[in-house]
Amino acid sequence: MSDERRLQETPQQIFAREEEPVDGVYPETVQPPRRRFAGALSWARENLFSSVGNALLTVFGLYLLWRILPPLADWTLLQSVWSTDDPAVCKAAEGACWALITQKYRFILFGLYPFEEQWRPALATALFIAAGAITAVPAFWRRALIGLWAGVAVICAILMWGGVFGLPFVENAKWGGLPLTLILAVVGIAAAFPLSIVLALGRRSELPAIRAVCTGFIELIRGVPLISVLFMASVMFPLFLPEGVTIDKLLRALAGIALFTAAYLAEAVRGGLQSIPRGQYEAAEALGLTYWQKTGLIILPQALKISIPPIVNQFISMFKDTSLVIIIGLFDLLTTAKAALSDPPWRPFYIESYLFAALIYWMFSFFMSRYSLYLERRLETGYRR
């Protein structure tokens, strides 16, 4: 079609017009989008060698990989020793001494728990992880979960302490390794989370006294390092107790961790609360909902959903921070990984031991991270368009 004819068209004609091919090629608007990556070669050209700078960076990157990967594979897999009870064999080898893990894994995982009884913390941990896995599936989100967790808590307590059903009693000073880390993290989170919601709501309260108490607590706790909180809980707190009264060390550590985490979580929750528009409060109020109905049914569900990323961030951070209990003499996973090296002939293989502990920490943290992403998508109801 000539340009002149085009200019004389009425709108009706323009809409009715079908694009005609010009020399067998349709005008650009109706062509399918150009395929940008046809084959690996052109992909590489477009992404890795699009300019001189990029090409140099690509070559440099490849060089680094070439320098790093083969030695790493050598050390971790090809030249490593997987099982021996003789440290000398490890010493002679070039690679990693994974034999340390196969020799010492029970100590790293369960610490000083009596060797013959270690099936008990193992079973407790397995039960606990199973309950966690069930809870993670939305299809199981119903009231019965509370019962499940209560049951799991009782069974785990019986398994860990014993003293009934013919299980020998094991005092909690002997607990250690992964179960202890999980107890600190999960009981800590379970206590800190509700407390943090109360603190966040309190900090936004219209009552000055409540607001002052909550703000004061949050700012005080956030102002000191976790180590000092733990230290106070462990060393100073007993000094204030009347003579003869003792509170278990593990319990004191848990309280310290929970209070510390609650202060941080409260700020994450407060962020969520602040992002809820005023209209939501007004709509809830106009319907005659009470303060607690409004908060529990309208505000918190939305605020907590928004706060998932910072909340999970805090969970992950506190999960790893539980390793600080070493300073008050609790044998958590990182401490047992270190203590496994106290056997002199195995002492040189500290990297392997720490890597093993790191892998366990990483698996739990990575799960939390991915799960929080899943949860965010799952709870999305399409109002952020």
Partner 1 sequence: MMDEQRAAERQAATRDAEPAIRLEGVHKWYGSFHVLKDINLMIRRGERVVVCGPSGSGKSTMIRCINALEAHQKGRIIVGTTQLTEDVRTIERIRREVGMVFQQFNLFPHLTVLDNLILAPTWVRRLPKREAIARAMDLLERVHIPEQAHKYPGQLSGGQQQRVAIARALCMKPEIMLFDEPTSALDPEMIKEVLDVMVELAEAGMTMICVTHEMGFARTVADTMVFMDGGAIVEMAPPSQFFSAPKSERTQKFLSQILKH
* Binding residue (CB under 8 A) for partner 1 from 290, 329, 359, 366: 290
Question: Which 303-322 residues touch partner 1, going by CB under 8 A?
Answer: 305
Q: State the minimum distance, in angstroms, from the CB of residue 381 to partner 1.
A: 4
Interacting positions 222-281 with partner 1 (CB under 8 A):
277, 279-280
* Cα 129 to Cα 126: distance, rounded to the nearest angstrom: 5
Residue in 114, 168, 301, 345 binding partner 1, rule: CB under 8 A: 301
- The tokens for 159 are 């398994």
b/e per residue 238-276 (b: at least 16 CB within 10 A): eeeeeeeeeeebbebbbbbbbbbbbbbbbbbbbbbbeeb
The answer to whether 221 contacts partner 1 (rule: CB under 8 A) is no
Continuous segment of H or E residues that includes residue 381: none
Question: Residue 286, interface with partner 1 (CB under 8 A)?
Answer: yes
Binding-site member from 42, 79, 274, 293 for partner 1 (CB under 8 A): 293
Residue 259 beta carbon to partner 1: minimum distance, rounded to whole angstroms: 30
Helix, strand, or coil (residue 25): strand
Among the listed residues 214, 211, 213, 212, the one whose alpha carbon sits nearest the alpha carbon of residue 199: 214
Residue 382 binds partner 1, judged by CB under 8 A? yes
Q: Between the CA of residue 59 and those of 53, 63, 245, 295, what are the distances in Å?
A: 10, 6, 68, 57
Considering the complex, what minimum distance in angstroms separates the CB of residue 308 from partner 1? 13
Decide if residue 171 touches partner 1 (CB under 8 A): no
Closer CB to partner 1, residue 302 or residue 323?
Answer: 302
Residue selected from 157, 283, 359, 373 as contacting partner 1 according to rule CB under 8 A: 283
Of 53 and 288, which has the nearer Cβ to partner 1? Answer: 288
Question: Measured between alpha carbons, how far is 240 from 242 in angstroms, rounded to an integer?
Answer: 7
Please name which of 198, 263, 179 lies closest in space to residue 229, comparing C-alpha atoms: 263
Which residues in this chain contact partner 1 in the complex, by CB under 8 A? 277, 279-280, 282-291, 293, 297-298, 301-302, 305, 379, 381-385
